[in-house]
A and B are shown apart, each in its own frame.
Chain A
Amino acid sequence: MPSMKKMVPLFITFISGAMLILALFVPAPPFPGLEEEFSIWFDLIAVFSFLLGGGNLLRVHLKKVARQERDWMFSLVTVLGFMLMLFLGLFKIGANDWSANYLASGTAFKWMYDAVFVPLQATIFSLLAFFVASAAFRAFRAKTREATILLIAAFIILIGRTPIGVMMTSWLPKSLEFFHIPNLSGWILSVPNMAGQRAVMIGIALGIISTSLKMILGIERSWLGGNDK
């Protein structure tokens, strides 16, 4: 028999899961809107857990700073950044009065968000362009038959999306218009690519159903810390 610490969550999971499955087919109250209701409950719990996350962040990094562990300076920057934003947000520095939104235009929090946080975020996001190039370079090396097919397909799709692709095969007669590169590119995307994607998605859907059932029935308990009896 599982301990009470696990029995209660297992029971709640079973009831909630079963109700949500029923909600898909039963339009009578209280089932409609149940999914949204549960989602709101989850959000409420998540909001309170922010304290846990923030506390953990501070604890981990303050410990590093206190012990002057390797790269402790980065931890110091993290702690200072965290404390600064917390201070600016809590005390609404720059706002006209206490009732103002901490994100209102003119507040120090908003300024820090726009002038520091957003550019930093954009910087990390922009790294993606370089990483796409390096990953594509490795993936498209025609070492195997599959990689060669991938390379050819990628080349056709890339060319097909540019004016050069249109120009290259625009001379083809009407009877051969399928081989016009933009048409070929569209066919690759909408037929073989789509078929593959759908196959993956059907597998994913079945996997989700199976995992959910295992959790509802209490067979899968790793999320509770383990599968012990």
Chain B
Amino acid sequence: MKTPRFLLTSVSMLLLFLFLTPLLCFAQTESTPPIVPPTPPPMPAPLEVAASDVPNDGGSAIRVSWQFPNELEYPPVGFEIFRYEQDGSNQSIVKVQSLVREYIDTGVTNKLPYSYRVQAIYRDSTGRETAVSAEQSQPASAHITFFDFTKINLAIITLILLGAILGYIFYAGRGKEMTIRKIAGVAAIEEAVGRSTEMGKPVLFVPGTQDMDNVQTIAGLTILASVARMTAKYEARLDVPVSRSITMSTGRETVHEAYLASGRPDLYSDDIVHYITDEQFGFVAAIDGIMVRDKPAACIYMGAFFAESLILAETGNGIGAIQIAGTAMPTQLPFFVAACDYTLIGEELFAASAYLSGDQRAIGSLKGQDVGKAVAMLLILFTSLAGTVAAVTGGGAMEKVYQFLWRLTAASF
């Protein structure tokens, strides 16, 4: 009989299936770990929040600082700082980025106590923000400092320089004779004016392109006074185009006084010093036009110049004028050196007025400048030597000397 055996086998299989299936399901349930909610990432609060007066200031700032771990898996998006006043009222003053650990609060009133609270701001994946706050800091107040001690080295150097310059000025003022070396460019000014007189052509004087708030313009006008005395003496025509209105007014006063002092007020005219334009290249174009049309025999450029320096000097060279330039713009000096007959380099521009005026006190100030130069040279020399010795010997005491000298030199020169 084949059928009962088949049935028996089928029933057995069915029973086995029915018996094993729950077992298998149970076994599977047993091996799956239980579902637990995810642990939220740590959100630490800022630590050691401290407030202190910012030293060497005008009493209008308090420094707020705090500690915070740098190696967080989920760092905060930033920090918010709250300022607490004496009466307990508070306000949020700023939100800073997460890498910041210090903030200078400049919105405080001198001598009033303030305390601060810093809170870290965390943002989850849904954009929801959570703020974790630190303890409020101890109160601090801002105090006025009457001397910025971070500039003590600069103050020492300034005092030495001022002392030297003033000392020599007063020394010369007591009638002591001072001599300075001949400056070729300055000596050539009289020659240039004389040449213009002989040729019956004007002297062109450009006192730079900057306003009266630039000391180079003032130095230029000082030289203009001497040039005007010469043109008055030789009866040469003087032409002073300027690019600033205030320079025009000052230049007129200067030239007028020079003509008066030379006893030739009749030769003076307001048109000698005339305004052109404040625009740099418009000014250059106008002067180039004057040069090409009037062909001055002498072109004198004294003051602050920028890109126009070479355009002016090359045009002057093209018309065959004797050219004397002076500027304290280091970038323009090569152009003047290349295109002019004489160039007053940097400090010579400032020395020229003293040289031309012959005023002993002014010459004395130049001697004071020399003391400043000697101090600069000695400081640079000693700093270099100390640095070299420190590098060769591997530091030690010489390294400290070098660091001190370096700070002193870097701050002063």
Evaluate whether A49 and B245 lie within 8 angstroms (CB atoms) in the complex, with A135-B314, A207-B369, A223-B222 already known: yes
Q: Which of B44-73 contact A (CB under 8 A)?
A: 56-59
Q: How far is the CA of A174 from the CA of B155 in the complex (A)?
A: 48
A139 in contact (CB, < 8 A): yes
> With A28-B58, A42-B213 in contact, is A207–B347 under 8 Å at CB?
yes
Cβ contacts under 8 Å, A202 to chain B = 373, 376, 413
For window 201-227 of chain A, which residues contact chain B by CB distance below 8 Å? 201-215, 217, 219-220, 222-227
CB distance from A115 to the nearest CB of B (A): 16
Is A197 at the interface (CB under 8 A from chain B)? Answer: yes
B109 interface residue (CB < 8 Å to A): no
- A192 an interface residue at 8 Å Cβ cutoff? no
Of A53-61, A100-108, A161-169, which binds chain B?
Answer: A53-61
Query: A124 and B56 in contact (CB under 8 A), knowing A200-B346, A213-B165?
Result: no
Task: Flag whether B137 is at the interface (Cβ < 8 A).
Answer: no
Once bound together, how far apart are the Cα atoms of A42 and B213, in whole Å?
8
> Does A125 interact with chain B (Cβ within 8 Å)?
yes
Which among B146, B225, B248, B346 is the interface contact of A226 at CB below 8 angstroms? B225
Q: Does B408 contact A (CB under 8 A)?
A: no
**A211 and B350 in contact (CB under 8 A), knowing A25-B147, A128-B311, A135-B338?**
yes
* CB contact between A203 and one of B221, B307, B373 (< 8 Å): that residue: B373
Instruction: Pick the contact of B284: A124, A138, A139, A205 (CB < 8 A).
Output: A124
B258 touches A226 (CB 8 A): yes
Residues of B within 8 A of A204 (CB): 328, 330, 346-347, 350
B250 adjacent to chain A (CB < 8 Å) = yes
Judge whether A46 and B211 touch: CB under 8 Å: yes
A136 touches B257 (CB 8 A): no
**Of residues 109 to 165 in B, which have CB atoms within 8 Å of A's CB atoms?**
144-148, 151, 154-155, 158, 161-162, 165
Q: Is the CB of B311 within 8 A of A219?
A: no
In the assembled complex, which residues on chain A have CB atoms less than 8 Å from the CB atom of B328? Answer: 204, 207-208
Q: Contact mask A130-160 → B, CB, 8 Å, 1/0?
A: 0110111011000000000000000000000
Q: Give B286 Cβ to nearest chain A Cβ, in Å.
A: 8
User: Which of A125, A139, A212, A227 has its CB near the most chain B CB atoms (within 10 A)?
Assistant: A227
Do A210 and B338 have beta carbons less than 8 Å apart? no
The digit string for A111-122, where 1 denotes a CB below 8 A from any CB of B, is: 000000100110
Chain B residues numbered 313-370 whose CB sits less than 8 Å from any CB in chain A: 313-314, 317, 328, 330, 333-335, 337-339, 345-347, 349-351, 353, 357, 359, 361-362, 365-366, 368-369
Interface: B256 (CB within 8 A): yes
> CA of A5 to CA of B339 in the docked complex: distance in angstroms?
41
**Residue contact B222 to A52, C-beta cutoff 8 Å:** no
Residue contact A213 to B166, C-beta cutoff 8 Å: yes
**What band does the interface of chain B fall in when counting residues whose beta carbon is under 8 Å from A?**
35 or more
CA distance A211 to B165 in the complex (A): 10
Contact assessment for B248 and A52 in the assembled complex, using a CB-CB cutoff below 8 Å = yes
CA distance A139 to B339 in the complex (A): 8
Give the Cβ gap from B326 to chain A, nearest Cβ, in Å.
11
In the complex, residue of chain B having the shortest beta-carbon distance to the beta carbon of A138: B338
Q: How far is the CA of A204 from the CA of B331 in the complex (A)?
A: 13
B180 interface residue per 8 A CB criterion = no
Does A228 reach chain B (CB closer than 8 Å)? yes
* Interface flag for B74 (CB, 8 Å): no
Residues in B whose Cβ lies below 8 Å from that of A31: 58
User: Does residue B382 face the partner (Cβ distance < 8 Å to A)?
Assistant: no
Q: Give the residue name and chain of the B residue nearest to A45 (CB).
A: B246
How far apart are the CA atoms of A220 and B351 in the complex, in Å? 12
- For residue A25, which residues in chain B have a CB less than 8 angstroms away from its CB? 147-148, 151, 154-155
Q: Is A2 an interface residue (CB 8 A)?
A: no
CA of A178 to CA of B7 in the docked complex: distance in angstroms? 100
The contact size tier of chain A is 35 or more
Chain B residue contacts of A42, Cβ below 8 A: 211, 213
CB distance from A14 to the nearest CB of B (A): 14
Contact between B346 and A203 (Cβ–Cβ < 8 Å)? yes
The yes or no answer to A74 lying at the interface (CB within 8 A) is yes
Residues of A within 8 A of B293 (CB): 70-71, 74
Q: How far is the CA of A45 from the CA of B245 in the complex (A)?
A: 10
Bound-state Cα–Cα, A202 to B330, Å: 11
B365 touches A213 (CB 8 A): yes
Q: B335 — which chain A residues lie within 8 A by C-beta?
A: 135
A227 CA to B351 CA in the complex, in Å?
A: 16
Interface string of A175-212 (1 = CB under 8 A from B): 00000000000000000000001101111111111111
**How far is A54 from B244 in the complex, measured between Cα atoms in Å?**
10
Interface flag for B219 (CB, 8 Å): yes
Q: How far is the CA of A209 from the CA of B333 in the complex (A)?
A: 20
| Residue from B162, B335, B346, B359 with most neighbouring chain A CB atoms (10 Å) | B346
Residues of B within 8 A of A (CB): 56-59, 144-148, 151, 154-155, 158, 161-162, 165-166, 169, 211-213, 215, 218-219, 221-222, 224-225, 244-246, 248-250, 253-254, 256-258, 260-261, 271, 274-282, 284-285, 289, 293, 307, 310-311, 313-314, 317, 328, 330, 333-335, 337-339, 345-347, 349-351, 353, 357, 359, 361-362, 365-366, 368-369, 372-373, 376, 413
A-B contact pairs, 15 of them (CB 8 A): A42-B213, A57-B276, A121-B280, A121-B281, A198-B413, A202-B376, A202-B413, A203-B347, A207-B328, A209-B369, A210-B369, A213-B166, A213-B365, A220-B353, A222-B254
Extra pairs beyond A206-B161, A207-B219, A222-B222 (11, CB < 8 Å): A42-B213, A49-B244, A128-B311, A132-B310, A204-B328, A207-B349, A210-B350, A215-B218, A219-B169, A220-B222, A225-B254
Which 4 A-B pairs have CB atoms at the shortest separation, nearest pair first?
A207-B350, A53-B245, A226-B257, A203-B347
A interface residues with partner B (beta carbon < 8 Å): 21, 24-29, 31-32, 39, 42, 45-46, 49-54, 56-57, 60, 63, 70-71, 74, 117, 120-121, 124-125, 127-128, 131-132, 134-136, 138-139, 197-198, 200-215, 217, 219-220, 222-228
